[in-house]
Structure 1
Amino acid sequence: MSAEHVFSTSGSTSAPRQWARTRRQMEQEARMILGTWAAGVTDILSFAPTEHSYGMILGQVGADVTRARLQSCSLEALLLPDLQVRGPTVILCIASTWTLLASLLKRLVPQVPVLVLHSASALPSKAYAIVDRYAGQGVTFIELLGSTETGAIAHRPIGEAATAWTVFEDVSLLSPVGVESRLNVHSPRIARAAEGQVSALTHQSDDWILAVGHGQFQWLGRASQLIKINGVRQDLGVLRAELSAVTQCQHLACMPLRDELRGEAYEVVFSSPTLTEASLAQAIERLGVHFPKPVQIRRVEHLPLSASGKPQAWAIQQTGS
């Protein structure tokens, strides 16, 4: 691998940008995370693609620095792991992995200690039942918060309670305590913007947080995805996850609409060979009164997904006029 590796942002809210990360930065991150929760790891089962920094750093680079056996897996491509593992095992999850995670743990738990890491997307609701079932049986569940620009920023145990996030040992939280604001951090692992000459030491992300002190914060959502409807703050990422789960449609996005007439509202954009605008409207009705109604439901020819499964709404092609 060269001295630098270039990653692209997911493009979920705007056109992807490229960021370069050094080999030293990636090795530092892999050693820190795997050394904390998976000392002596022998096998890494990665469902995170190496096009995404999470999959590259904790998968490929993680296997290099720990000398673990790496298996690149994909539920979508039907590339499932060989579960004849040799010792402590790490599973790198993205949202779709949780569909088969229970069956993997059923086989692995009697054999070895397991670390389940999740990053790159919101946790699906089914995750909590799996955590409740297997936590304390030699399985550790950890959620990571980070970005292409910063690498891993913070961590927390996976559980139903809204546990605060704790920044990693080499990250300093710069956001003001007790005030809702964007997540602002100092870290030696911030990537270099492709158009820049050097890496910055600080980065302010689209994450909207409430810092609570001692390097901890509550995550409130993505600033670009938070809107108020009838005075109630709504997270379009959460709405998207709920609607995607009930329709089994991954090629779906909830997009904010802000103008003088409607104030803050949103539309649903989707791509599907089987679903229609009417079937989406019926699914929203079934979700109940807590789920705010969109001002529009729009079917498009193609709504691509990023490597980690996030809809790239910036790239949609509209059908019809």
Structure 2
Amino acid sequence: MTFEPLTQLPWRRQADHTRALTPPWVTPASLLARIDAWRHWLVGQPGGRWLLSQRDPEDFCAALVALWESGRVAVLPADDRPETLARLAVEVDGTLPDAPGNHVTRHQQTNVLPPHEALAPSSTAVVLYTSGSTGDPVRLAKRFDQLDAELAAHADLWPLAGTCVISQVSHQHIYGLLTGVLHPLCSGVPFCGDDCRYPEVLAARLQEADDVGLAPVVVSSPAQLSRLPEHLPWNELPRPTRVFSSGAPLPARHAQHAECLLRAPVIELYGSTETGGIAHRRQAQGAAWQSLPGVQLLIADGCLALRSAFLEDPQRWWQQPDRVAPTAEGFELLGRADRVVKIAGKRVSLDHIEHVLTATPEVRETRCVDLGRADGRLGAVIVLHDESIPHQHDTRHALIQRLRARLSTHLERVAIPRYWRFVDALPSNAQGKLDRGLVNRLFADLDDAKAPRWLGERRPDPSSCTLTLEVPERLIFLEGHFEEYPLVPGVVMVQWAIELAGESFAEPGAFQAIERLKFQRVLRPGVRFTLQLTRRDDGIAFAIDSYEGRHCAGRVRLQTRNGGDHG
């Protein structure tokens, strides 16, 4: 089969009956009957825009085509959360059920279907939703000519003849829709999805494709490829022809890992819902991105602009909010110029998260930060009203659960911040900003199991400093100190005082002796405390206090570099 545009109704051509794939595979032979079932159901229903949110790829694809052939427009929500569907239901003319079978009346089944309508290139095919810079859902319409232009570019670079497509990503988003459903639909090849997101199911589908003589193509994402388990017998399974990844740049080590396990080229696609595809790369051949066929690029002031037939206005330059640097082979991505980040391939507005959290009664101010960690999860720095500041593990945990619950009605679970820091005031640099250095310090304990959790500091004068800290629940020094009642050893409290004094007072001198040391209370995991440091002629004085009272105090005599006492 060769590629044909959507406007030529490729699913209506003669089906290929030589392949023995069965559900959950979607084949040309199985699809036509399902399309007509949906068209029967739509007889007598209102026209206009219909909400389409089917998880099953065959029902999704058949319902999508039935909407098109009956002159309707498909509206694809970004997720299937009840809140999202309820909000969009008032904006459309109808919502499709999960499947047509249980809803088709006898009259509809026996009624002769009207002729299917032609698909005009300039008419709207789908409406998608994506988050803008404010986090509010932005509605984007895609015409048939936009979709056909991008599908033709894919077919030019990566033809599907003799293949089948295994998709691990949602067809509700533009990437999964184009690569996992519409490209195989226009090429007349089988495809499958939904449960293929699990590695074990992916392995089974690879074998099924090979059993009927088809070369599999895998549509995946960074989140999926980064978690490919090594224990599955990939070397014994048929290798894919190629593997696609999109949604966010794939770390080089994960690209190498995926190519090694699957023994196939991993091709990354870069783009957005607004622009469609922009560029592609294979990191095994180079880190630079190269534009897709028909995409014109312009780099000005470090940012990317483009023109293509995939855009709503093909003649107008689109300013992409990404910083880039030109290279001999193409361009390098340097990060977002706005405050929208991608978490597990999903676009998330940091401003939106901050807006939702700041509306919480306990919260005065919020900063949501992309930590750049391997798990891709966000951090949240929260300024609370004094009476709401948590001072122990249980209250901190309960507060986090309340904030997560509030965000859960607005965000998918993976987009909710995973790491939380509750501060008295936002730490700031000399320019009054929470810069990357301060962000790194706030979350440094994630990678240092020996350090307390730093939450800020006050310096009333050059000789004194009060740090606000917490005892991390995963502090390595808690191990072996009473399983039923873990506590911070006294020697660790003293060590923290010495080390943090060195940071606060620019290495005041080498340790010489401890004086007037007194322990009054144990310090437990999750407790918020202050470390007060005072610089003295012969060293430092320190005191550790919490809501419970004083835990520890003493003096540390330090030696200067010239060999004498500090002074």
What interval of TM-score do these two structures reach, taking the shorter chain for normalisation? Answer: 0.5 to 0.7
CA pair 115-241 structure 1, distance change in 2 beyond 3 A: same
Relative contact order higher in (CA < 8 Å, ≥ 6 apart):
1
Which amino acid in 2 is paired with 1:121?
Answer: A
**1:138-217 paired onto structure 2 within 5 Å:** 139-159=264-284, 163-176=287-300, 180-190=301-311, 192=312, 201-212=316-327, 216-217=330-331
Q: Note the 1:1-321 alignment, pairs <5 A.
A: 1=65, 2=68, 3-10=124-131, 14-74=135-195, 80-81=201-202, 82-83=205-206, 84-85=208-209, 86=212, 87-98=214-225, 99-100=227-228, 106=234, 111=238, 113-124=240-251, 127-131=254-258, 133-134=260-261, 137=263, 139-159=264-284, 163-176=287-300, 180-190=301-311, 192=312, 201-212=316-327, 216-224=330-338, 237=370, 239-242=372-375, 244=377, 251-252=416-417, 261-262=432-433, 264-265=435-436, 282-285=445-448
Q: Match of 1:141, as an amino acid?
A: V
Q: 1:185 to 1:39 in 2, by over 3 A?
A: same
- Work out the CA distance in 1 between the residues paired with 2:125 and 2:320: 22
Contact 1:42 1:89 in 2 (8 A): yes
Q: CA deviation at 1:142?
A: 0.6
TM norm structure 1 = 0.64
**How big is the shift at 1:116?**
0.4
1:19 to partner: Cα distance: 1.1
The higher radius of gyration belongs to: 2
Conserved? CA contact 1:75–1:97, under 8 Å: no
CA RMSD of aligned residues (A): 4.2
Contact kept, 8 Å, 1:188 with 1:201, in 2: the verdict is no
Question: Structure 2 regions of 5+ residues with no counterpart?
Answer: 1-64, 69-123, 341-368, 379-413, 421-425, 457-467, 469-567
In 2 relative to 1, CA 41–294 (structure 1 residues): closer, same or farther, beyond 3 Å? farther
Decide whether aligned partners of structure 1 residues 103 and 185 sit closer, same or farther in structure 2, where only a CA change above 3 A counts: farther
Considering fraction of residues, name the structure with more strand: 1
Report the count of equivalent residues: 257
TM-score by length of 2: 0.39
User: 1:90·1:114 contact (CA, 8 Å) conserved in 2?
Assistant: yes
Distance in 2 of aligned mates of 1:77 and 1:131: 15
State how far apart, in whole Å, the 2-side matches of 1:253 and 1:199 are. Answer: 40
CA drift of 1:294 comes to 8.7
Give the aligned residue type for 1:94: S
Larger fraction in helix: 2
Gapped regions of structure 1 (runs ≥ 5): 193-197, 227-235, 269-277, 297-321
Find the aligned partners of 1:237 and 1:104 in 2 and give their Cα distance: 32
Query: Residues 208, 155 of structure 1: CA spacing in aligned structure 2 closer, same or farther, 3 A cutoff?
Result: same
> What is the alpha-carbon distance in structure 2 between the residues aligned to residue 258 and residue 105 of structure 1?
51
